[in-house]
Structure 1
Amino acid sequence: MKLHLRNPLAIFDVEATGANVCRDRIVELFILKIHPDGRKEEHNYRINPGMPIPPEVSMVHGIYDQDLKDCPTFNDLAPTIKRVLQDCDLAGFNHIKFDIPMLVEEFLRAGLEFDVRSRKLVDAQIIFHLMEKRTLSAAYKFYCGQELENAHSAQADTMATYEVLKAQLEKYDGQEVEDSNGNKIGVVKTSVDSLHKLFNSKMVDLAGRFVYNQEGVEVMNFGKHRFRPVLDVLKEEPGFYDWMMRGEFPQDTKRKLTEIKLSALRR
């Protein structure tokens, strides 16, 4: 179906050194520019971020420090990128929360204003989440082919969950599973033990503030220290432990943090 455009539409995606808009930097930017008459332009930029890319981040997008050592910086490319995006409305997938703030921040660091207030923004992820519901009722209809009666009563929801789980296992038994980064993590089997190991193997605390990396080390999963080993953060910033213990974090998270700290002392 053809898009009806009044202005050019720039569909774009960024890859970065991490997910922190204030601290991290863009390493790749791809723009598909679609004109109202249907013409398309493609613009691909590899960008030297001026900082190391954490190895675990490189494993996600496949871009390593050596790939960018001879590439221009964002400051070098900013005027060109701004011209490409001139008068464009913007589209992407999760770009309102991540890609656009990251791009605006890079322009500001380069001394250029990139005002999105006059532009139309279209986020395909928002459309996806609103139109393809991820509720128990939606899952019951998708997997079991029935409407869920008395949704949000504890009994109906529990019975529906059981039926959904059985239908999921029948549908996916033996299929290989990839995580959100495209890494193969195992095969669906019908035992509770295997399901737990497959879908909860990275969980450290229930709130997900800490997770295990591929080496089985507890790493931060939020804030400026995301992806860094928890023990490294505690060693470099002794006050970090007290800050978390005083903060509005779940007691389970604080307990796990204490366990990690004490484990280092026992070594």
Structure 2
Amino acid sequence: MFIISDKFKKIAKTLKLDKPLVIFDMETTGQTIYKDKIIELAYIKIYSDGRVKKDEMILDPQMPISRESTAVHGLSDKDVSSKPTFRKKAQEIWEIFNGCYYSGFNVMNFDLPILRREFIRVGMDFDYSISQIIDCRVIYQHMVPRSLAATYRYYCGKEFRQSHTALGDVEVSAEILVKQLDKYSEIRDLDFINKIHQSPENSYVDSSRKFYWKQGRAYFAFSKYIGVALSEVAKINPKFLKWILTADFSEETKTIVKKALESIKRSY
């Protein structure tokens, strides 16, 4: 069922959509991309003419839901045991998501890789590129200033007068830290601070982090070709990519490599 909403029509008009935009979120059995599964999937699909379709579904992951995840979203094993599996809903979900733009919060680093892996498990090809992603988290990180002056203004409510001295910056940083410790009780725990500093900010192509995005291209994050574009390796050493297809790598990684090899074949 389609609905009409001025709010969503504005999105379609402002972005000049040439294909639908799916804004989505999911709840999962845990936070590990390569092994956890989707248990709830909700979406709003905005078409270029402003029509909107939205829905949500609960899925049986056929694996235990971690206690930590249940504490967040409230869904237990019992809640999902009678629901359809991803395999049963795969075609329907593919028709919703295939060939669209994708948006949400942190979809690039979590939701899309999880969804892609679910499709791989059932033998379906769900492919997307970074040019199709409109991640609210990425936009926020890019557009909201992270400078010392902006941080000082946010936490201390004062304008930062450039001292052009290292000691002046240190004093301002110390004042910011005092305000942060006052504001966030969590960061009074050094273990918590250590944990958040280990959170990766890199944009990986696959959940096993063998490739990462850079300027719209996939680059190697391992082997002697680390930092080299996958498309370049496909040209200069296709045997190496063929070896990956026979070695102990995830099916997701192998799918990415297969596409690179196929792309080279088509170019000749």
Sort the TM-score into its range (normalised by shorter chain). 0.5 to 0.7
Question: How many residue pairs get matched?
Answer: 186
Matched, 1:74 2:74: no
- Residue 104 of structure 1 pairs with residue 92 of structure 2: no
TM-score scaled by length of structure 2: 0.61
More relative contact order, 1 or 2 (CA 8 Å, 6+ apart)? 2
Cα deviation for residue 116 of structure 1 reads 0.5
* Equivalent residue number for residue 44 of structure 2: 32
1:144 to 127, 135, 157: 157
Q: Offset of 1:119 from its aligned partner?
A: 6.0
Counterpart of 2:55 in structure 1 is 43
Identity %: 33
**Structure 1 residues 119 and 84: CA distance shift in structure 2, 3 A:** farther
Larger helix fraction of residues: 2
Residues of 2 paired with 1:27 and 1:54: CA distance? 12
Q: Pairwise CA RMSD of aligned residues?
A: 2.9
| Residue equivalent to 2:188 | 200
1:34 maps to amino acid = I
Q: Which residue of 1 aligns with 2:100?
A: 88
Per-residue Cα deviation, 1:57-87 (whole angstroms, up to 9, x for no partner)? 1101221111101111110110000111233
Q: Within 1, Cα distance between the matches of 2:49 and 2:89?
A: 27
In 1, distance between residues paired with 2:127 and 2:96?
Answer: 14
Deviations 1:189-234 (A, max 9, x none): xxxxxx5xx4334727x7439xxxxxxxxxxxxx99xxxxxxxxxx
- Aligned equivalents of 2:180, 2:30: Cα separation in 1: 33
Structure 1 residues 202 and 106: CA distance shift in structure 2, 3 A: farther
Aligned positions of 1:178-197 closer than 5 A: none
Are the aligned partners of 2:21 and 2:100 in contact in 1 as well (CA < 8 Å)?
yes
Do the aligned partners of residues 202 and 147 (structure 1) sit closer, same or farther apart at CA in structure 2, a change above 3 Å counting? closer
Q: Identify if the C-alpha distance between structure 1 residues 53 and 202 changes in structure 2 by more than 3 Å, giving closer, same or farther.
A: farther
Q: How does 1:216-235 map to 2 (within 5 A)?
A: none
- For residue 182 of structure 1, what is the aligned residue in structure 2? none
Task: Give the equivalent residue in structure 1 for 2:22.
Answer: 10
Match of 1:19 in 2: 31
1:91 Cα deviation after fit: 1.0
Gap change, CA 1:145 and 1:88, over 3 Å in 2: same
Code of the aligned partner of 1:147: F
Contact in 2 for aligned 1:148/1:160 (Cα 8 Å): no
The answer to whether the 8 Å contact 1:144/1:167 transfers is: no
- Cα-to-partner distance string for 1:20-77 (whole Å, 9 max, x where unaligned): 1111111111111001111111121111111111111110122111110111111011
Equivalent residue for 2:129, pick from 117, 123, 141: 117
In structure 1, give the amino acid aligned to 2:195. G
- Alpha-carbon contact 1:90-1:119 (below 8 Å) kept: no
Report the alpha carbon displacement of residue 134 of structure 1 after superposing the two structures with TM.
Answer: 3.5
* Paired amino acid for 1:208: K
Q: What amino acid sits opposite 2:50 in the alignment? A: G
Identify unmatched segments of 5+ residues in structure 1: 178-194, 210-222, 225-267
Report if the CA contact (8 A) 2:21-2:45 is conserved.
Answer: yes
Corresponding residue SS for 1:71: coil
| Worse-superposed segment, 131-140 or 70-79 | 131-140
Residues 119 and 77 of structure 1: is their aligned pair in 2 closer, same or farther, counting only changes over 3 Å? farther
